């Protein structure tokens, strides 16, 4: 700080700016690096990311209830395969046996212990507490079967005789529809006299229509038939 007491009356403007910058740099180097938050320190560069990652592992236990299984199955099996532990229906494989499980929530808490060796008392059985759990999975032995593949049934070919019969039926129906829709044409009838009214003409039409259905026999024809 002795340099700060130096008389700067004879220093020029440009030299004064340089001298002030040097004084600030000297003071900054002498001051310790502090931060606003206590417990932290200022650094020039950051280290690897692994140093700043704080991983906390949470261990949870679940008991597997296999029920009644073969007594030789568990002792003879050193490994197992557990599939879908977080799913509603997990599966467990022990050797060649397959078990299907379901989750059960316990009303209380189960205490888990493991057996430890006691060198001082080898004949005594010592247990050490491992943890506690409120989850249990009950397993039941099942048999897995492959799903049957459903193949579409092949369509049977239609017989040509059947097709011809259906075509003839449709042809008959079409001809009947055409005959019923066609207008009836016939010779125009003229009234015999001008004095006839519409009622007279209608009577003649009715008589003619009846003659078409029932043949009228003339008197001369009846005599001829009697003569024969």
Ranges of each domain in the chain: 2-40, 63-142
**What is the layout of strands, in order, in the sheet containing 63-65?**
63-65, 126-142, 97-116, 91-94, 81-83
pLDDT value, residue 118: 75
* Average pLDDT of the residues in 33-37: 56
Per-residue pLDDT tens over the stretch 153-197: 666 555 555 556 656 666 665 666 666 655 555 555 554 444 444
**What CA–CA distance (Å, rounded) separates 20 from 106?**
76
pTM for this entry: 0.39
- Judged against a pLDDT cut of 60, whether residue 41 lies above it is answered with yes
Note the pLDDT of residue 213: 46
pLDDT digits (tens, 9 = 90+) for 200-209: 444 554 455 4
Q: Is the pLDDT of residue 150 over 50?
A: yes
Q: Which CATH architecture has domain 63-142?
A: Sandwich (2.60)
């Amino acid at each position: 700080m002795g340099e700060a007491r130096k008389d700067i009356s004879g220093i020029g403007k440009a030299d004064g700016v340089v001298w002030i910058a040097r004084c600030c740099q000297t003071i900054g180097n002498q001051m310790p690096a502090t931060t606003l938050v206590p417990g932290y320190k200022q650094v020039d560069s950051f280290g690897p990311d692994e140093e700043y990652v704080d991983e906390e592992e949470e261990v949870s236990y679940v008991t597997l209830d296999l029920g009644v299984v073969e007594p030789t199955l568990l002792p003879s099996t050193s490994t197992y395969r557990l599939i879908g532990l977080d799913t509603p229906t997990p599966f467990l494989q022990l050797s060649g046996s397959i078990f299907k499980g379901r989750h059960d929530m316990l009303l209380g808490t189960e205490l888990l212990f493991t057996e430890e060796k006691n060198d001082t008392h080898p004949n005594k059985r010592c247990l050490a507490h491992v943890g506690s759990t409120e989850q249990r999975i009950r397993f039941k032995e099942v048999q897995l079967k492959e799903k049957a593949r459903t193949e579409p049934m092949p369509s049977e070919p239609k017989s040509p005789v059947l097709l011809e019969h259906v075509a003839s039926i449709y042809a008959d129906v079409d001809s009947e529809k055409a005959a019923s829709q066609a207008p009836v044409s016939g010779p125009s009838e003229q009234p015999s006299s001008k004095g006839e009214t519409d009622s007279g003409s209608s009577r003649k039409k009715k008589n003619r229509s009846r003659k078409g259905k029932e043949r009228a026999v003339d008197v001369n024809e009846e005599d001829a038939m009697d003569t024969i």
